[in-house]
């Protein structure tokens, strides 16, 4: 479970201060497929980064189960994120100099673990065996995102954070990726928290959080 208590986030540029959101609280239960939606530039990605441990809020607390993640040291928080969560980016964030297989196992190398069974399970789960020796530059957008999701799953995370994962994909690839994320949620009980402004994606959510101008509406 993710529990958010009274978080506030402000953007500061010199003397200019803009409140992105203030004193908001909500919970996300294990196994939910939550979509955070709203207009472009409204602060959806900032909220996702706070939930995922990337950006500390100005005030308030974020819990993963009973752990207040922003009370952890940087190294302990990094390890927690690597072990318990995966992050999927709109622009894939694959390393061009590494082939698909080496991109997949990068987080295991960072954690100094080797779990070949898990790697093979993920490769099969996402049907990317034919891509392993290829480099990102020769992959389609849909293939890149499938590989990026595989990389995010490699340590068997409880939570998958997705920042506009279909924003740079065509309709066919968008449908494929959203169906894949829905399958991961339903069949493997992975909690998915996804940011999007694409209305067609909302049908995949078990719960929608609408965010506009600092106001959160949770259904």
pLDDT digits (tens, 9 = 90+) for 71-127: 999 999 998 998 899 999 988 999 999 999 999 998 888 878 888 999 999 999 999
| Tens of pLDDT, residues 37-64 | 987 767 889 999 999 999 999 999 999 9
pLDDT at residue 219 greater than cutoff 70: no
Mean pLDDT of the chain: 91
Fold classification of 2-218 is Rossmann fold (3.40.50)
Pull the structure tokens for residue 126. 């996402």
> pTM (2 decimals)?
0.92
Domain ranges of the chain: 2-218
Per DSSP, the residues of 157-212 read -SEEEEESTTTTS-HHHHHHHHHHHHHHHHHH--EEEEEE--GGGGGG-SEEEEEE
């Amino acid at each position: 479970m993710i529990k958010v208590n009274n978080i506030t986030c402000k953007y500061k540029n010199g003397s200019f201060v803009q409140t992105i959101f203030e004193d908001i609280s909500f919970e996300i239960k294990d196994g939910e497929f939550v979509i955070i939606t709203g207009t472009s530039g409204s602060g959806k990605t900032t909220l996702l980064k706070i939930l995922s441990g990337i950006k500390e809020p100005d005030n308030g607390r974020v819990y993963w189960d009973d752990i207040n993640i922003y009370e952890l040291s940087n190294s302990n928080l990094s390890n927690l994120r690597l072990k318990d969560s995966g992050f999927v980016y709109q622009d894939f964030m694959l390393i061009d100099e590494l082939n698909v297989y080496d991109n997949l196992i990068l987080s295991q190398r960072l954690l100094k673990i080797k779990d070949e069974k898990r790697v093979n399970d993920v490769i099969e789960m996402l049907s990317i065996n034919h891509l392993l020796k290829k480099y990102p530059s020769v992959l389609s957008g849909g293939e890149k995102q499938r590989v990026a999701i595989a990389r995010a799953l490699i340590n068997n995370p409880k939570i998958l954070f997705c920042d506009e994962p279909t924003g740079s994909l065509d309709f066919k690839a968008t449908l494929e990726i959203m169906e894949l994320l829905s399958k991961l949620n339903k069949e493997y009980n992975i909690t998915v928290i996804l940011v999007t402004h694409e209305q067609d994606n909302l049908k995949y959510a078990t719960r929608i959080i609408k965010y506009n101008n600092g106001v959160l509406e949770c259904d």
